[in-house]
A and B are shown apart, each in its own frame.
Chain A
Amino acid sequence: MSDKVDITLTINGRAHAIRVEPRKTLVDAIREDCGQTGTHIGCEHGVCGTCTIILDGEAIRACLMFAIQADGRQIRTVEGLADGETLSPLQQAFIDHHGLQCGFCTPGFLMLATNALEHNPNIGDDELLDVLSSNLCRCTGYQNIIKAVRAARDQMRGQAAR
């Protein structure tokens, strides 16, 4: 066995002190060692995007990083989107626009799109499509995912204008 190392993953503001092998991917550590199973694992080689999280303000694929590399950094996952019982506007829009069927890809899409809307609340349809093309939905529910993200963007923009 290779030696385990002590690291701290800060997920949605809460510190998790864990002990992992250097080869453990960030997504495995988030799920297995920190118990935050909202983030899903699909392909494990950076193609499907279902493990997308936000690391220090940037959307990344958590299967393409080792947990040890995220020691001391700020991680956001799907568990951190809702405020208590109140869903984020994007989460609500996924329900309203039927943006999920089986739901497996949903955490990845939510983190991907949350990050895109936070970076640019006025993101255009073309750029949005470019960002959303990052992730796969095997139910192929892309049209409704796009509708949901557009609706959340428009709603959040409307609130900001008020």
Chain B
Amino acid sequence: MKPAIFRYHAPKTLHEAVAVLADVAPDDGRVLAGGQSLVPIMAFRLAKPAHLVDINGIKELAQITAVDGKLRIGACVRHAAFYEPVCDGPLGKLLATVVRSIAHHPIRTRGTFCGSVAHADPASEWCTVVATLDGEVAAQSKRGQRIIAAKDYFAGIMTTVLEEDELLTEVRLPLLPADTRVGFQEFSRRAGDFALSMAVVTYRIENGKMADARVGIGGAEPYARRIVEAEAALDGKAPDAETFQAAAVAAAAAIDPLEDFNTSAEYRRDLVRAMTRRALDSAAA
């Protein structure tokens, strides 16, 4: 239960960090941010990186800003930063709701939003938010910066399109229109445990009907994604129990559930139905 030997690097600037990462990435160099997933993996020796590039000392990565209609969350922003709404309107409220389901308080004081997105656990709450809202991931390397859309970012269980020499510097989320309704629900066996499924939903009301509906499901498939079948069941309809149920059933039918020692595929499918329905109910409340 002790991590294997590694060389430790603590760059002070982003410029320095990507230079170090370019050097050590071919030799299994990894980025250390909050460490709340990486360090346990190292303790189990499932990972034995030869180098760690600790980005915690890079002040420019610790910021949250709102620019051009987007919330920009830097790579060192901790989960606990979202306890209170970080911006006015529905996005700040949604993030403040979601953070309460992430692990436990002492994990939230160290773990980072962007670290979760880089780690890409299927049960990551922040990944589900990023996928649902079509967020963007900014990746920096010596070769330059690229902005990756959420729909192109996730590639599998704990797998993304990030290259080994790329540092995820920030995640950008759209600041939702003020009249957006938001809902989130997840199911886990114990408080703080990995969720077995979760749903993030948003919609607006135009002339009594739902518009711009989004339904994102996490924890049920290799990675979180929007479920267009469920969204189609909502758009243009009144926000009532019958419509919500139809969307929940559509979400459950559309997924290809993971199976593991916790659940069968059918159980997880049923959880997706229940979480989608409850998220829609909470958005309407």
Is B35 touching A52 in the complex (CB atoms < 8 A)?
A: no
Cβ contacts under 8 Å, A21 to chain B = 5
Cβ contacts under 8 Å, A2 to chain B = 5-7
How far is it, in angstroms, between the C-alpha of A5 and the C-alpha of B54 when the chains are bound? Answer: 15
Size bin of chain A's contact surface: 20 to 34
In the complex, whether A133 has a CB less than 8 A from a CB of chain B is yes
Interface readout for B180-221 with A: 1 if CB under 8 Å, 0 if not?
A: 000000000001100000000000000000000000000000
Please pick, from B8, B35, B56, B105, the residue contacting A134 in the complex, using a CB distance under 8 A: B105
Closest B residue to A51 by beta carbon equals B106
In the complex, whether A61 has a CB less than 8 A from a CB of chain B is yes
In the complex, whether A66 has a CB less than 8 A from a CB of chain B is yes
How far is it, in angstroms, between the C-alpha of A22 and the C-alpha of B80 when the chains are bound? Answer: 26
Cβ contacts under 8 Å, A58 to chain B = 80, 109-110
Please pick, from A23, A45, A49, A65, the residue contacting B104 in the complex, using a CB distance under 8 A: A49
Cβ contacts under 8 Å, A68 to chain B = 8, 10
Min C-beta distance of A70 to chain B, whole Å: 11
B1-37 interface with A by 8 A CB criterion: 1-8, 10, 35-36
Cβ contacts under 8 Å, B106 to chain A = 49, 52, 59-61, 112, 134
Min C-beta distance of A115 to chain B, whole Å: 8
Is B6 touching A133 in the complex (CB atoms < 8 A)?
A: no
How far is it, in angstroms, between the C-alpha of A65 and the C-alpha of B35 when the chains are bound? Answer: 7
Using known A-B contacts A59-B106, A130-B100, A134-B192, determine if residue A22 contacts B6 with beta carbons closer than 8 Å: yes
Is B104 touching A134 in the complex (CB atoms < 8 A)?
A: yes
Interface readout for A46-76 with B: 1 if CB under 8 Å, 0 if not?
A: 1101001000001111011110110000000
Min C-beta distance of B234 to chain A, whole Å: 31
In the complex, whether A33 has a CB less than 8 A from a CB of chain B is no
Interface readout for B78-113 with A: 1 if CB under 8 Å, 0 if not?
A: 001000000000000000000010001111011000
How far is it, in angstroms, between the C-alpha of A44 and the C-alpha of B45 when the chains are bound? Answer: 12
Is A133 touching B8 in the complex (CB atoms < 8 A)?
A: no
In the complex, whether A131 has a CB less than 8 A from a CB of chain B is yes
In the complex, whether B69 has a CB less than 8 A from a CB of chain A is no
Closest A residue to B39 by beta carbon equals A64
Cβ contacts under 8 Å, A49 to chain B = 104, 106
How far is it, in angstroms, between the C-alpha of A133 and the C-alpha of B192 when the chains are bound? Answer: 8
Using known A-B contacts A22-B8, A23-B4, A133-B104, determine if residue A63 contacts B43 with beta carbons closer than 8 Å: yes
Please pick, from B6, B44, B107, B191, the residue contacting A23 in the complex, using a CB distance under 8 A: B6
Is A45 touching B40 in the complex (CB atoms < 8 A)?
A: yes
Is B110 touching A64 in the complex (CB atoms < 8 A)?
A: yes
In the complex, whether A161 has a CB less than 8 A from a CB of chain B is no
In the complex, whether A102 has a CB less than 8 A from a CB of chain B is no
Using known A-B contacts A45-B43, A46-B39, A68-B8, determine if residue A60 contacts B104 with beta carbons closer than 8 Å: no
Interface residues of A (CB under 8 A from B): 1-2, 5, 21-23, 25, 28, 44-47, 49, 52, 58-61, 63-66, 68-69, 112, 116, 130-131, 133-135
What are the nearest 4 A-B pairs in CB distance? A134-B104, A22-B8, A45-B40, A44-B1
- A25-B2, A44-B43, A59-B105 known; 19 new pairs, CB 8 Å cut-off, are A2-B5, A2-B7, A5-B8, A22-B7, A23-B2, A45-B1, A46-B39, A46-B40, A49-B104, A60-B109, A61-B106, A61-B110, A64-B36, A64-B40, A68-B10, A69-B56, A130-B191, A134-B105, A134-B106
